């Protein structure tokens, strides 16, 4: 019996991955919501202590990433994105679980994230044990100037 074997892997990312990361964000984030970061914003964040990135690839092609930071004993998932063609295939969940495990290994007691109200990714966060703990009104500014609320989620790690 023959078939196609797909090899998915997670690896640590860095500044050298920024061109692929920016492209993933452009593919993944709807421009009207204004959620994608610029390469300069990502580079600035990656230069800070306690920040790490995990990249998901499939058959050698980068298809998703997560950018996280740790301050004291709190981690914050800053960005998580997967290319549209990789959605609902376990990539986002694998990235999120990798971030949770790395945050725990780095001594985080809790991890936070923010997501735009109405973003379907909230279902993933709920499945992985996150609970809504707050809301920021008019947090995101879309390309047209429209404002969108952000929901804050948290998960204890110990």
Known catalytic residues are 114, 125
**Spatial separation of the C-alpha atoms in residues 11 and 121, rounded to whole Å:** 22
Q: In whole angstroms, what is the distance from residue 102 CA to residue 133 CA? A: 22
Q: What are phi and psi of 27, to 5 degrees?
A: -75, -35
């Amino acid at each position: 019996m023959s078939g196609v074997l797909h090899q998915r892997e997670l690896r640590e990312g860095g500044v050298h991955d920024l061109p692929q990361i920016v492209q993933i964000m452009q593919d993944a984030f709807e421009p009207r919501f204004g959620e994608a970061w610029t390469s300069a914003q990502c580079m600035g964040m990656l230069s800070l202590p306690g920040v790490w990135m995990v990249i998901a690839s499939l058959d050698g092609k980068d298809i998703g990433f997560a950018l996280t930071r740790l301050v004291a004993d709190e981690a914050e998932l800053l960005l998580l994105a997967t290319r549209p063609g990789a959605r609902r295939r376990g990539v986002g969940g694998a990235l999120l679980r990798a971030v949770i495990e790395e945050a725990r290994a780095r001594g985080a007691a809790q991890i936070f994230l923010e997501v735009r109200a109405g973003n379907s990714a909230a279902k993933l966060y709920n499945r992985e044990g996150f609970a809504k703990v707050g809301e920021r009104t008019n947090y995101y500014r879309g390309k047209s100037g429209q404002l969108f609320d952000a929901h804050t989620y948290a998960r204890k790690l110990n």
